[in-house]
Amino acid sequence: MDDRMSTAEHTVMRNRARKLSVVPATDQGEDRFLQVLEFLLGSEKFAMENVHIREVTALPIVTPLPCVPSFIQGIMNIRGSIVSLLDLKAILGLPGTASEPGACVIILHSPEMEFGLLADQLVGLVSIPLSDIHPPPPAAMEERNRYLKGITLDGLVLLDSGKLLADKTLVVDETVRAPG
């Protein structure tokens, strides 16, 4: 068996290397910035682009639901709209309880989906230079990796809200029938 790469494998590897070597473009030497909402989950810093964030609110009264996965905390009433509340720590495989004192809810919205994400503490809106955002390390946890958009050198983890909204595994579409 020959240990050398085939031509097709070599082409794939060369294309991957070319994509990874591209430095983000700058406008006349100035960094372009990404506006994000920064928040804490435990002691870790996370952020999301503002594009899918409808609003941020204090944690309202949550009505628990039976027979749902553990990442679903329940439902809540936001000005007359019933919104599902998901525990982002459980989704990302982070330790800790679902609702810490001072917790808030980040409401994500797309034309197809809307839900709230539980965050321990809101830091606020920040601007991150695009040149400071790097791809997640290959050794990142699998659960986190599918929602990661990047990470900064100071450890701010940038989540992809579009991927969260599009993930069908976060949708519960089951009917539970009462026995009898």
> How confident is the model at residue 135, as a pLDDT?
87
The answer to whether residue 129 is domain-embedded is yes
Backbone φ and ψ of 163, nearest 5°: -70, -40
Range of the domain at 156: 32-169
Judging by beta carbons within 10 Å of its beta carbon (0-12, 13-18, 19+), is residue 129 exposed, middle or buried? Answer: middle
pLDDT of 122-149, one tens digit each? 999 999 999 999 987 776 556 567 899 9
Which burial class, exposed, middle or buried, applies to 136 when counting CB atoms under 10 A from its CB (0-12, 13-18, 19+)?
middle
pLDDT, tens digit, 9 for 90 and up, residues 10-22: 576 666 666 665 5
Asked whether residue 174 is domain-assigned, the answer is no
Please indicate, yes or no, if residue 1 is contained in any of the structural domains: no
- 18 within domain boundaries: no
- Check: CB of residue 118 under 8 Å from CB of residue 62: no
What is the torsion angle, in degrees rounded to the nearest 10, for the CA atoms of residue 17, residue 19, residue 20 and residue 23?
130
CATH of the domain at 117: 2.40.50.180
What is the count of structural domains for the chain? 1
Task: Give me the pLDDT at residue 99, please.
Answer: 64
Q: Is residue 4 part of a domain?
A: no
Beta-sheet pairing, 157-159 with 148-152: antiparallel
Is residue 19 domain-resident?
A: no
Does an H or E element contain 11, and which? helix 7-20
